[in-house]
Amino acid sequence: MKNSKNKQTLEQRLNKIRAGVLGSNDGILTVVGVLFSTAAATSNNFLILVAGFSDLLSCAFSMAAGEYASVSAQREIERAVIQIEEKQIGQDKDYARKTIAKSYISRGVNQQTAYSIADELIQKHEIESLVYSKYTLK
């Protein structure tokens, strides 16, 4: 859904915070470890500085590359899911309506209301509503 890109669930925000905290801790500990080991090997302040700076850069590039790979994989998974759902819609024109309504019925909404919700959502954004209700609503 278009607005869902701007509005994140609490779980999504907590995942970002968790990833940031763990990544920061990992980076800090790695740089401190390199600084301590370099300081143990030499008393040359310039070498210690260069080792710390180069480790800081390598950690930053490593984390950026890992995040890029993660985001790219997530994007590809989302595209694959959308293609699968579009194929299902092509085979059964009522597929989205039934699937969306089923997700609301499973959450306690009565059948008539669930189908009314499904109809309204489909009119606005069929594929987004289908994917959201099938893969997000529990």
pLDDT for residue 52 is more than 80: yes
Q: Cα–Cα distance between 5 and 80 in angstroms, integer?
A: 18
**Which tokens in the block code for residue 133?**
């209700």
pLDDT for residue 1 is more than 80: no
Instruction: Report domain extents, the chain.
Output: 9-78, 92-138
pLDDT for residue 137 is more than 70: no
The CA R_g of the chain, rounded to the nearest whole Å, is: 24
pLDDT band for 26, please (50, 70, 90 cuts).
confident
pLDDT for residue 108 is more than 80: yes
Q: Cα–Cα distance between 117 and 111 in angstroms, integer?
A: 10
Q: Which amino acid type is present at position 118? A: A
pLDDT at residue number 11:
75
